[in-house]
Amino acid sequence: MREHLILLPGWAIGPAALEPLRDALVERAPHLRVEIEPLPGLEQAGTWLDALDERLPRDTWLAGWSLGGMLAAQLAARRGDACRGLIGLCSNLSFRAREDWPSAMPHDVFTAFHEACRLDPAQTLKRFSLLVAQGARDARTLARQLQVTQPSVDPKTLDAGLRLLDVLDTRAALQGFSGPQLHLFAGRDALVPVTAADALLEWLPDIELQVFPEASHGLPLETPDEVAEAILVFMREGDDV
C-alpha cells in the first residue's frame, strides 16, 4: 500500500508555507503520498481535535508544525495503531511555560501576545511572521514568504488557536503513543526554546530527535530539503517508504 503522510501547519500559517517541504518529500520519494491539511477554522477551541479526526484519513503518518504538531500528537495518541508514526516540527510539549515545564514561552509573554492579537489581529500577524523568521539565515526573505502565504483567518479562529496553545500539554499523548516518533527542533527558534529538545529527550528518551542549530521556528519553510531528508530517513527506519 502506498505510504501516506499528512502535514499540518501551525497557528496562523497557511498550507502554502508547507508546499516546499511537500515538494522536497515527493521529489525524494515519488511513491509517497503527501497531503497538506489546514487546521480547523473553528471558533470553539475544544472542537479542533474532533474536527481533524473526522476529516483526516486513518493509517497515515502524521506530521505537524508547532500547533499542528501538538494536535498531531493528540490525534496520534487517540488513533493508536491507526497512526503509522508521529513527526513534530518545532513543536513543544507545552507552548507556554508551566511550573513543571519551564522550557517554553514565558507565561506573561504569551498572555501579552494573546491580548495584542485580540486588539489588533493584523498587526499581530505581521509581528508573528517576524518572530517565526527570527534567527533564520535570511530572516527578511523568510518573513516575506510567510506573509505572502499567510491565509485570511477570522479573528475568532485566531483567538481559538491561541486558547489551544495556552492549554495544550501533549506529554500524556506522547507518552501514550506507542508508534515511532521524530521531533525536529531549531537552534535559533524565537518561539520554542531549543532547551525544549533536551527536556523532551530527558523525559522521553526512546523517541528520535534532531536539532537544526542554525535554523529558526520557520524550519520547514527555511530548510525544506534537510527536513525532508530527516523525515524520510525516519520513515524508512519505521517502514520502507
Identified catalytic residue from 94, 103, 129, 217: 217
Beta pairing partners, 210: 184
Of 240, 83, 100, the closest CA to residue 177 belongs to: 83
Count other Cβ atoms within 10 Å, centred on residue 206: 7
Is residue 94 part of the annotated active site? The answer reads no
Determine which helix (DSSP H) or strand (DSSP E) holds 210, and give its type and residue range: strand 208-212
CB 85 within 8 A of CB 63: no
Identified catalytic residue from 94, 103, 114, 189: 189
Is residue 178 part of the annotated active site? The answer reads no
Q: Rounded distance, CA 173 to CA 65, Å?
A: 16
Q: Which amino acid is at 183?
A: H
Place of cell 493584523: 122
Beta pairing partners, 83: 60
Is residue 154 part of the annotated active site? The answer reads no
Identified catalytic residue from 66, 94, 103, 216: 66
Catalytic residues, which ones? 66, 189, 217
